[in-house]
A and B are shown apart, each in its own frame.
Chain A
C-alpha cells in the first residue's frame, strides 16, 4: 500500500556511490547512499558538500561537477540515465570533480587600443599585443612592467620563446605585426619603477610580404614560425646572441638615444602551399607544424622536408587553431562560423569532426587547449563571450561575459586562469579555474 500511495508522489530513488580522484579534504565515505533520481548537478553538489561538512566541521562550500561513465551530468540524474541507457538498479558510481568555472574576475587591465594577442605560457607574466603597435608585459595585479616599442603596425600575435625560464631577465619573446615583420625582444634587469619600462627589439625578422597573422615557437628552441597574409609560413632562427649568421647588421643612430644594435634576420625556410591568408600556426612538436588558413584547409607540415604531410579541408575559413588534448594529437579549430570543432587526425578515412561545440553566436576568434588537461578548451568569439569547454559534455562549462565587444584572443594562464583580450581594449583575467 505504501508503495502505491507514496511512491507516486516521490521521485524514484537510485543507489549511488560518490567517488573522486581528489585528495584528502575532498574525499567522502565510499558507502552507497540512496538519493532521488531527479537531482540535478546543483543539488548533487549541495549533497556532496553536506556529506563533506558532516566529516569536516570547517568545510567551506565548493561547487562540484559530476561524471557518470566519463560524461558530465548536465541534466537531472533520471534524464541522464535514460538518455545514456544506464540501469538505475545497480549502484551508480558518480565521480565528482571540482566544477571548472572561474571563481574570481580580476580587474581588467586597460590598454590604449584593441588587444589582439595574448600569451599566458609563462607563469610570471602575461604578454599582450595591442593594435597601437605596442606589446606589453603584465604582472599579476594588473601592473604593466614593460612596453615593447618598435612595430609600426598593430600586433597580431605574441609568443613566449622560453616560457619555462623563471627569471624575466632571460626571457625572449617574439611578436608578429601587420607591418609584415616579426620582432624579438629581451628584457633587461628588472627595475622597481612605477612607469612601465620601454624596451626596444633586439632583432627584426623581415621577409613576409603580407601582414603577419600568427607566430608560434617550439618551447626552448631557437626556431620560430609565422603565418602571414602572403600565404606562406616562414621559419626563422631566433638566436639573438650570435649575430654572425644574420645577413646584415645595421647600426641605427637615433637622435637623443644611444646607439642600438639591431640585427635583422631572414627566413630559413618558407612553407608554401596555402592559397589564402594563414591565420593560425601551431608548433607543438619539433618536426611538425600545424597551420590553419582562410582557404578552408588545415595542414600539417613536416619541418624537415618542408612538405605538408596532412591536408584537411574543413569547409570554413579558419581563424584559430590549437593542438592538444589526448596525447596532444587533437586539433581544435574555430573559424568563420560559430562552431568550435575538434578533429582527430589519427582517425583514418574521415574528415568529420569528432566534437562540435556550437554555443557561440559569431565567429570564433581564438581557441586554446589547456596544456595539462585532455578535456578542457577555451574559446573566444566575436559575440563577446569566452567559453570554457569540456570534451565530456556538449554544453559550455562556463561563459565569461566580461567583454563588452568582440573578443579577439584568449589563453590559459598559470593553469588555472583564463585571460582574454578584446575590442574593448581590456585584458580580462578570470582566475580560480580548477582544471586539475
Chain B
C-alpha cells in the first residue's frame, strides 16, 4: 500500500493544477461516471486540461485502483488520529470495503472505481477541509475513461493555434487528425429545426465532432446548475455513524456548564435594535419608501388651506374676480361696447363707470401692457391691509327641522272639505249669512236688497223679504226664530215662519211696539233710534241716524248691538228688545269702529277699531284690555266660545290669534290670504275656525284651546276651500259654521251660498 502511494505522489504537479478549478473537476468526474455506463464518448472543453492524466491513466489502469483505495486509507487513518483511537489499519479498511460492496451494485464495469468513490464520499463527512486534496486526487485518477481510438493529443494548448491548419491535432500514433468539413450555417440551422433532439447536440471542438448528450448527462448538468450535488444518488447529509464506543459515551464531552450566551438574547443585538427604533422614530429611517407625490402645478385659485396654520384664526383674503370672456384679448362682439356706449360711460359717475372696456386685438402679441396693473395691485394690497375681515358664521340647519311639528290633518277630522250643496237664488253678491241655532235654517242678505231664509238640508228658499236697500248684516236671534237685519240706516227685526206655535206667540208679543214710544224716548235718549212697527216686512224697524254695518245679538237674545262706523261717540248702540230701549255704550271710545262682539259667556264687549280691539266690562263700565294686532286695518273679529281667545282678520290678509290671558299681542299671526280677509268665525263646538277672503278662498284651521292654562292653543291649517268665483274684485264675503255639524257656509260675491261638508 505504501509503495502505491509513492507511485502516485509522482504526479504531484498535476494534482496541484487540478486543485485550481474544483467545480470543473467534480463535473468532469460525474460525467465520466455517466459516460462509462452509457459507453458514449463525452468530450468537453475542459478535456484538454486533463490530457496528461488521460495518458498516464490509460497507461495503467490497475494502479489507479490502488491509489484510490490507498488514498481513502490515508484519510481514514487521519480521522482515527483525531479521535485518538489506534486500531488495526487493515481490518478497518476491509470493513469499509465490505460495506461499500453491498452499496455499489449498478456499476459492474468499473466496480473498483466506483467503490472507491463511494467510500470516499462517506469519508467526506467527518473529514475536515484538509482532506479535500486527497479526495481530488482520487477523482483525477478515475477521470481517464476514453476508449475511443482517434483522440486528439495536442494537450492543453489554445485551439486557435490550429485554427488555420487542416488538422486539429494528432492522435495517439502521431497521425494528423483532419478537420471535418464544415456544414453551412443555414444547413445546420435547418437540421436543428427539423430534429427535435437537436438541443442535445453540442460540438466538441477539441475533437471536432458532434456529441449527443444523454438524458442522464442533462440531468447531471441541471443538478449542477441548481448547485446541488451532481450525482442523484449522492446524499449530502448522511446520518452519522459512530464507529467507536467508549465508556463515558453517555456523558457529555465537556464538563463545563452551558454558557449563558446560549440562552440569553445578545446584548449587542438589543443595542442595535434600540438604535434602529430610535432612528425610525425620529424619522431618520423611513420605512415607506414610496416617494411623496408633489403637486405638479400650483393651484392659484384654489381654496387656501388654513389647516396647517397655527396661532390666530386665519381669514383668507377675498378672491379677486376671475377674468371672464370680456377680458379676453379677442372677446366676442357682444362684449365690445359701441362708440355710443363708450361715450355714455363718460357721462356716468366715476363709481358707476365700468372699470374695464373690452377691446379686440388681432393676436395676443399685440395686447399692450395693462396700464392700471400697478394701481390695481396697490389698491388690492391696501384693501387687504386696511379692511378688517371677519369670519361669516353660517349655521347649518335643516330647513325642514324649523317647521313646527304639526299633527296630521287626517287625525283632526271632521272638518269641512267638499262642497255638496249650493243655495241659489240671490241676484247680487251675498254679503252676509247666518245659521239658525238648531242648524235647520240659514238666513242670507244680499246686495240686491233681499233677505232670504233657506232650508239647510235641501237648499230650498223658504222666505224672501225685499228690503230695498243693500243688506249689511243678518243675524238670527240665538233663542227665537227672529232675524235682525241691518240695511242702510235701518235695523229690522223680522218674524220668520219658522219655529213652533209657542215661539210664534212669544214673537208676536215681543215684536209689538206701541206707536207712541217715540215720545217717551225723546227726553231720555235724544231719539238716537226710533222703534217703529214695520208691517210690510212683519217686525220692528229701528231707525238709526247713520248707516248700520253690524248687528249682533247678545247670547240671551234680549240685547242687540248695532254699529255705525260714522256715528262717532254713539257709534255702538245696545238695544233691549223686551223693553224696546236703546242705550249707547257707556264708555268713551276712540277711532272709527269696524266691528264689535259680545263676550260669549261674560258681560264683556269687544269693539274693534281699525288699529286695535278694546275689551270693555259692561258691569264695571270700564276698559279691561286692549289688543294690538299690529295690522294695517282690522276687518273682522271672532271670539272663541271659551271666551279667552279671539281671532282678528285684517285687510292685509293676516289672521291674528289672540290668547287674551297671555298677552295683548297676537299669539300667532297667519299670513295666508292674498287679499282682504272678509270674515272670520269659530265653530261653536268643534275645534275649528275659518277665515274667508276676497281671493275666493276660505281657510279652515284646527284651533284647539286646552282647558289647561299652561298649554298654548294648537293651530293647524287644515283645508283651503275653493269654489267661489270672483265678482267685482270681491270673493268670499262671509262665512259661518253650521252650529252643530262640522260644516261651513260661505257666501260669495258670485251670489251663491255654498255648504262645505266633512
Mark contacts of B718-758 with chain A using CB atoms, 8 A cut-off: 1 yes-contact digit, 0 otherwise.
00000000000000000000001101000000000000011
**Quick check: A362 and B741 within 8 Å, CB to CB?**
no
Q: Which chain B residues in 418-460 approach chain A with CB under 8 Å?
A: 418, 420-421, 438-440, 457-460
Is the beta-carbon distance between A229 and B420 smaller than 8 angstroms?
no
A31 to B446, CA, bound (A): 72
Q: How far is the CA of A362 from the CA of B754 in the complex (A)?
A: 13
B500: CB under 8 A from chain A?
yes
CB pair B438–A229 under 8 Å, yes or no, is yes
Write the chain A residue with the least CB distance to B438: A229
Decide if A111 is an interface residue (CB 8 Å cutoff).
no
User: Does A369 count as interface, using CB distance less than 8 angstroms?
Assistant: no
A319:B457 contact, CB within 8 angstroms? yes
- Chain B proximity of A78: nearest CB distance (Å): 37
Q: Are B414 and A209 in contact (CB under 8 A)?
A: no
| B459 touching A362, Cβ below 8 Å | no
- Report yes or no: B741 in contact with A317, Cβ–Cβ below 8 A: yes
Does A17 sit within 8 A of B, measured CB to CB? no
Nearest A residue to B417 by beta-carbon distance? A337
B420: contacting residue among A209, A279, A315, A363, CB under 8 A: A363
1/0 per residue B678-714: CB within 8 Å of A? 0000000000000000000000000000000000000
Q: Is the CB of B439 within 8 A of A276?
A: yes
A209-B420 Cα distance, complex, nearest whole Å: 28
- Contact between B460 and A316, CB atoms less than 8 A apart: no
Within 8 A of A (CB), among B468-512: 500, 502
**CB <8 Å contact, B440 and A337:** no
Q: State the CA gap A338–B502 with chains docked (Å).
A: 37
Could you say which of B414, B418, B440 contacts A229, with CB atoms under 8 Å apart?
B440
User: Per-residue 0/1 for A345-359: is the Cβ within 8 Å of any B Cβ (1 yes, 0 no)?
Assistant: 000000000000000
- Of residues 149 through 205 on chain A, the ones whose CB sits less than 8 Å from some CB of chain B are 180
Asked if A294 and B438 sit within 8 Å, CB to CB, the answer is no
**Residue from B420, B440, B459 in contact with A277 in the complex, judged by beta carbons closer than 8 Å:** B440
A25 CB → nearest B CB, Å = 46
State the Cβ distance, B600 to closest chain A Cβ, in Å: 20
Digitize B239-280: 1 where CB-to-A-CB distance is under 8 Å, 0 elsewhere. 000000000000000000000000000000000000000000
Cβ B758 vs Cβ A336 within 8 A: yes
A413 interfacial by beta-carbon distance below 8 Å: no
Interface centre among A116, A336, A337, A382 (most CB of B within 10 A): A336
Decide if A210 touches B500 in the complex (CB within 8 Å): yes
What are the residues of chain B within 8 A of A336 when measuring CB–CB? 420, 741, 743, 757-758
In the assembled complex, A426 has its CB within 8 A of some CB on chain B:
no
Q: Does A389 contact B (CB under 8 A)?
A: no
B460 near A382 with CB under 8 A, answer no
Decide if A337 touches B459 in the complex (CB within 8 Å): no
A-side contacts of B421, CB under 8 Å: 362-363, 382
Q: Which of A116, A276, A295, A365 has the most CB of B within 10 A?
A: A276
B440 touches A382 (CB 8 A): no
Tell which of B420, B440, B460, B500 touches A362, judged by Cβ atoms closer than 8 Å.
Answer: B420
Known: A180-B500, A362-B420. A337 touches B457 (CB 8 A): no
A408 at the interface (CB under 8 A from B): yes
Which residue of chain B has the shortest Cβ distance to A153 in the bound complex? B497
Kindly state whether residue A290 has any CB partner on chain B within 8 Å.
Answer: no
Question: Contacts A131-B460, A210-B438, A336-B758 given: A294-B420 contact, CB under 8 Å?
Answer: no
Q: A276-B439, A362-B420, A406-B458 are in contact. Are A294 and B500 (CB under 8 A)?
A: no
Docked CA distance A319–B418 (Å): 17
Collect the chain A residues with CB atoms within 8 Å of residue B757's CB.
317, 336-337, 363
Residues of the A chain whose Cβ atoms lie less than 8 Å from the Cβ of B743:
336
CA separation between A316 and B758, bound complex, in Å? 8
Of all chain B residues, the one with the shortest Cβ separation from A152 is B497
Contact partners of B741 in chain A: CB under 8 A: 276, 294, 317, 336
B500 to chain A, nearest CB (A): 5
CA of A53 to CA of B741, assembled, Å: 58
A423 interfacial by beta-carbon distance below 8 Å: yes
A114 CB–B CB distance under 8 Å:
yes
Provide the bound-state CA to CA distance between A406 and B424, in Å. Answer: 13
Task: Give the complex CA separation of A116 and B421 in angstroms.
Answer: 17
Q: How far is the CB of A167 from chain B (nearest CB, A)?
A: 35
Nearest-Cβ distance from residue A204 to partner chain B, whole angstroms: 13
Nearest CB of chain A from residue B753's CB, rounded to whole Å: 15
In the complex, what distance in Å separates the CA atom of A316 from the CA atom of B417? Answer: 13
Nearest chain A CB to B415's CB is how many angstroms away? 12
Verify A209–B500 contact, CB threshold 8 A: yes
Nearest CB on A from B103, distance (A): 84
Please state if B458 and A408 are interface contacts (CB–CB under 8 Å). yes
Query: What is the CA–CA distance of A126 and B459 in the complex, to the nearest angstrom?
Result: 26
- List, in ascending order, chain B residues with CB within 8 A of A131's CB: 460
A280 to chain B, nearest CB (A): 12
| Nearest CB in chain A: distance from B752 CB, A | 15
For B741, the closest partner residue in chain A by CB is: A317
When distances are taken between beta carbons in the complex, the residues of chain B under 8 Å from A211 are 440
Tell whether, in the assembled complex, residue B459 and residue A406 are in contact, meaning their CB atoms are under 8 Å apart: yes
Smallest CB-CB separation from B419: which chain A residue? A362
Determine how close the nearest CB of chain B comes to the CB of A367; give it in whole angstroms: 15
Indicate if the CB atoms of A294 and B460 lie closer than 8 Å.
no
Which single residue of chain A is at the shortest CB-CB distance from B413?
Answer: A315
User: Min CB distance, B333 to chain A, in Å?
Assistant: 63
Q: Which of A292-324 contact B (CB under 8 A)?
A: 294-295, 315-317, 319
Within 8 A of B (CB), among A219-253: 229
What is the CA–CA distance of A363 and B422 in the complex, to the nearest angstrom? 12
Residues of B within 8 A of A114 (CB): 458, 460
* A279→B741 CA distance, assembly (Å): 14
Q: Determine the residue in chain B with the shortest Cβ distance to A231.
A: B438
Q: Which residue of B lies closest to A365 (CB)?
A: B458
Give the nearest-CB partner of B740 in chain A: A276
How far is it, in angstroms, between the C-alpha of A180 and the C-alpha of B438 when the chains are bound? Answer: 15
Contact bitstring A361-387, B, C-beta under 8 A = 1, else 0: 011010000000000000000100000
A229 to B414, CA, bound (A): 22
Q: Which residues of B contact A279 (CB under 8 A)?
A: 457
Q: Mark B348-374, 1 if CB is under 8 A from A, else 0.
A: 000000000000000000000000000
Contact with A along B388-431 (1 / 0, CB 8 A): 00000000000000000000000000100010110000000000
Instruction: For B758, list chain A residues within 8 Å (CB).
Output: 316, 336-337
Please name all residues of chain B whose beta carbon is closer than 8 Å to the beta carbon of A319 when the two chains form the complex: 457
Contacts of B740 in A (CB 8 A): 276, 294-295
Residues of B within 8 A of A423 (CB): 458, 460
User: Nearest CB to that of A319 among chain B residues?
Assistant: B457
In the assembled complex, the CB of A211 is this many whole angstroms from the nearest CB of chain B, namely: 7
Contacts of B458 in A (CB 8 A): 114, 116, 365, 406, 408, 423
Interface string of A398-409 (1 = CB under 8 A from B): 000000001010
Closest Cβ–Cβ distance, residue B184 to chain A (whole Å): 73
Residues 121-143 (chain A) with a chain B CB within 8 angstroms: 131
CA distance A365 to B458 in the complex (A): 9
CB distance from A244 to the nearest CB of B (A): 27
What residues of chain B lie closer than 8 Å to A363, measured between beta carbons? 420-421, 757
Q: Please name the residue on chain B nearest to A131 by beta carbon.
A: B460
- Chain B residues with CB under 8 Å of A317's CB are 741, 757
Ordered nearest first, which 7 A-B pairs have the shortest CB separation?
A: A336-B757, A362-B420, A209-B500, A363-B420, A276-B740, A229-B440, A180-B500
- Chosen A-B contacts, 30 in total, with CB atoms closer than 8 Å, are A116-B458, A209-B500, A210-B438, A210-B440, A210-B500, A211-B440, A276-B439, A277-B438, A277-B440, A294-B740, A294-B741, A295-B740, A315-B414, A316-B758, A317-B757, A336-B741, A336-B743, A336-B757, A337-B420, A337-B757, A338-B420, A362-B420, A362-B421, A363-B420, A363-B421, A382-B420, A382-B459, A406-B458, A423-B458, A423-B460
A-B contact sample (17 more), CB < 8 A, given A276-B741, A277-B438, A337-B418: A210-B438, A210-B440, A210-B500, A211-B440, A229-B440, A276-B439, A276-B740, A294-B741, A315-B414, A316-B758, A317-B741, A317-B757, A336-B741, A336-B758, A338-B420, A408-B458, A423-B460
Interface positions of B (Cβ within 8 A of A): 414, 418, 420-421, 438-440, 457-460, 500, 502, 740-741, 743, 757-758
